[in-house]
């Protein structure tokens, strides 16, 4: 299973970006999909999460500005980011956990990370 993130870039403060992260491979089920971010010299922080059933949670710093959603048929998670601020500048990484089966039918639980996509917000 691999996660491929896209959609980052440069934007002025107040602008918007939409990130996407697609999971590819032999996947039976994806449980929770998440977006994290990591700024230079800082720890990686959870930004938003969405369960298979669509329940969402957000970091306080982005509530009301960002929205996470997913397309279960496409195994893809999105992060719509509005009213961006310079402090939102970071590498954004997606993560997902789920279940696959081997050729012999053995279940394998997994968690994988995408490669990260840079978001830069200028003042």
- pLDDT for res 1: 92
- pLDDT for res 37: 98
Sign of CA dihedral 34, 78, 69, 56: positive
Q: Give the Cα separation of 43 and 56 in Å (integer).
A: 22
The tens place of each residue's pLDDT in the chain, 123 residues long, gives 999 999 999 999 999 999 999 999 999 999 999 999 999 999 999 999 999 999 999 999 999 999 999 999 999 999 999 999 999 999 999 999 999 999 999 999 999 999 999 999 999
Distance between first and last Cα of the chain: 38
Angle formed at CA 7 by CA 96 and CA 68, multiple of 5 degrees = 50
- pLDDT for res 32: 97
């Amino acid at each position: 299973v691999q996660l491929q993130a896209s959609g980052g870039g440069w934007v002025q403060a107040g602008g918007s970006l939409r990130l996407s992260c697609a999971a590819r491979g032999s996947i039976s089920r994806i449980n929770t999909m998440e977006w994290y971010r990591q700024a230079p010299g800082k720890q990686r922080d959870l930004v938003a999460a969405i369960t298979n059933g669509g329940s969402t949670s957000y970091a306080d710093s982005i509530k009301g500005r960002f929205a996470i959603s997913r397309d279960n048929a496409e195994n893809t998670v999105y992060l719509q980011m509005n009213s961006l601020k310079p402090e939102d500048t970071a590498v954004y990484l997606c993560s997902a956990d789920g279940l696959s089966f081997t050729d012999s039918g053995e279940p394998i639980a997994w968690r994988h990370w995408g490669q990260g996509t840079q978001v830069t917000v200028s003042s």
